[in-house]
Amino acid sequence: MHPAYSVIFFTVASGAGYGLLFWLSLAALVGAMPGGRWLMVAGMLLALALVTFGLLSSARHLGHPERALGAFSQWRSSWLSREAVAAAATYVPAGLLLLLAAFGGASAVASFAALLTALGAAATVYCTARIYASLRTIRHWNRKDVVWIYLALALASGGLLFCLLLALGGHALGIAGPLSLAALLAAAWLKARYWAAVDADPGAYTVEMALGMPDLGTPRPLDPPHTMPNFVMREMGYSVGRKHAVKLRRGVLLALFAVPAVLLALSLITGLSAPLLVLGVLSAAGGLLVERWLFFAEAEHVSQLYYGLQRA
Amino acid sequence: MTTLPPATDKKLGLVIDLDICVGCQACATSCKEWNTGGYSAPLSDHDPYGADPSGAWLNRIHSYEFGEGAAAKTVHFPRSCLHCETPDCVTVCPTGASYKRVEDGIVLVNPDTCIGCKLCSWACPYGAREYDHDDGVMKKCTLCVDRIYNETLAEEDRIPACVRACPTGARAFGDLGDPDSDVSRSVAARDGFNLLDEFGYRPVNKYLPPRKTSVPLDLSETPPPETATGTTAIEKLFAWVDRTLSS
């Protein structure tokens, strides 16, 4: 699949934003958020900025972004529509939580808003993942663990941001440190398992099935239905990523998982949190962008059986 | 509404005979010509006469080879939207622009509400939908919905442009939900089949397989090329010249 930069940036930024929103809401819910009101306000603003820039970026890849309101209508059948509804709905309790954090207010209302924000953040990331996981045409995406990976990566990247926020505010990481580390390691384990599984899966559909004449044997493309690559080949047949997949996967394991995990562990031990976590967040951001690029670039689409692919 | 109708009154579709398709591209060009001015208008092209031409086409003709040597076979293979009964290209649409009509089963895109997210093209295993970069919306076969019910056209023209253009009669149009229709009868008689049946979208369009060759070709018994022999004086002269020059 063609890796569109707008969608890569959207899923990475909104994943981290909703992850941070989840951590902040949880901290507010259990009353564990240190640093008075301003740390909470700064965190909420950062999370909502990441989410909003992500959503705006995703709207940029639409042919008609001015018609985007229509995307709220088909939540009965479409995961993309459900994602739009969940994303918009989450702004309501998140905005309320931000206002209550900034100006103070009834703690019961704040707790309820925090609970709804945490649920909304999780639901939005879940819907994003299901858009991909529900496509039976792409075996690299049509998997249950794709949903878990999206959720774990949102939790891990949001957790790193939450730890950085605490460190920059001059606070101890507390339980957030080990929990973020656990999320990071869980995501790494899921992703390594995912890569092993997709490599071992040859694909359920063959070129013989695509043409429907198995008696005739294996077809060989003779004349293509185009003079230069067409939309279906450019959108669904991207293959540059597969050439460098092994090296890039190693880069992801290093930048997204190993480096941030070591830096997070070091900051827990040494107490030198802020500079270490700045490096950790930057490394994880780079790693996440490559991970998401690979998620698209490595994905094979069944339609390519008509264009020379043997199995998909 | 992007939820699928539980059933449609008719199942209008195409039957494509791979035995007699000669791969002439008349259906593809006729489709492009009609639909760049019809319901799907425009079907934009980019750099059409330059070094890197591309554009939206609703019907594309592949040619494949099967087998080796004397048993080799060339099959021309037109491919367009199959107007499936249970396709995800409809249900994934976030706006309701992609829909399946209850009255005849045609799968259409409403060009006024499509936001151009391309998700429907990702959901199609047949690669039947093509995005129009100029128009910013998805394009697909409409089964010439603006011809088949069009009473301003002569009656013989109220069929899809591809069917009308086919010079060999390899394409037929009709109601595949009616077992007594001509198209259903030909599917039954010729073992018509679905593309990628295993995927489970239940395509309406059917394909008829190439007929089995009745006389197998045996290249070992091919006679040697004729030498110049004859009975008339001039033919004998040429035969003598041939033998002399060959020795």
Q: Considering only residues A47 and A246, tell me which one the structure prediction assigns the higher pLDDT.
A: A47
Task: Name the A residues in 119-148 with CB < 8 Å from any B CB.
Answer: 131, 134-138
Residues of B in contact with A219 (CB under 8 A): 64-66, 75
Point out the residue among A215, A217, A303 whose CB comes nearest to the CB of B127: A303
Residue B157 has a pLDDT of 97
Digit-by-digit pLDDT tens for chain B (247 residues) are 578 999 999 999 999 999 999 999 999 999 999 999 989 889 999 999 999 999 999 999 999 999 988 788 999 999 999 999 999 999 999 999 999 999 999 999 999 999 999 999 999 999 999 999 999 999 999 999 999 999 999 999 999 999 999 999 999 999 999 999 999 999 999 999 999 999 999 999 999 999 987 666 666 666 666 665 667 888 888 888 888 898 8
Q: How far apart are CA A10 and CA B93, in angstroms?
A: 19
Q: Please check whether residue A101 lies inside any domain of the structure.
A: yes
Residue B219: its pLDDT value, please?
A: 66
Residue A92 covered by a domain: yes
Q: For residue A312, tell me if it sits in a domain.
A: no
What is the C-alpha separation between B4 and B240, in angstroms, rounded?
Answer: 79
Q: What structural domains and CATH numbers belong to chain B?
A: 12-208 (3.30.70.20)
Residue A295, domain member (yes or no): yes
Q: Does A60 touch chain B (CB under 8 A)?
A: no
Chains A and B form CB pairs within 8 A to the count of 191
Distance from CA of A308 to the nearest CA of B (A): 10
- Would you call A235 an interface residue with chain B, using a CB distance cutoff of 8 Å? yes
How many distinct structural domains can be found in chain A? 1
Residue A54: give its domain's CATH number. Answer: 1.20.1630.10
Tens of pLDDT, residue by residue over B90-99, are: 999 999 999 9
Q: What is the pLDDT of residues A260-278, one digit of tens each?
A: 999 999 999 987 789 999 9
> Which A residues in the span 194-223 are in contact with B, Cβ-Cβ below 8 Å?
204-205, 209-213, 215-223
Residue numbers of the domain that contains A107: 5-307
Q: Decide if A81 touches B, using CB distance below 8 A.
A: yes
Mean pLDDT, residues A79-95: 98
pLDDT tens digits for A27-39?
Answer: 999 988 887 788 9
Please name the member of B64, B113, B199 whose beta carbon is closest to the beta carbon of A70. B113
Say if A270 falls within a structural domain: yes
**Residue range A163-192, pLDDT digits in tens:** 999 999 999 898 999 999 999 999 999 999
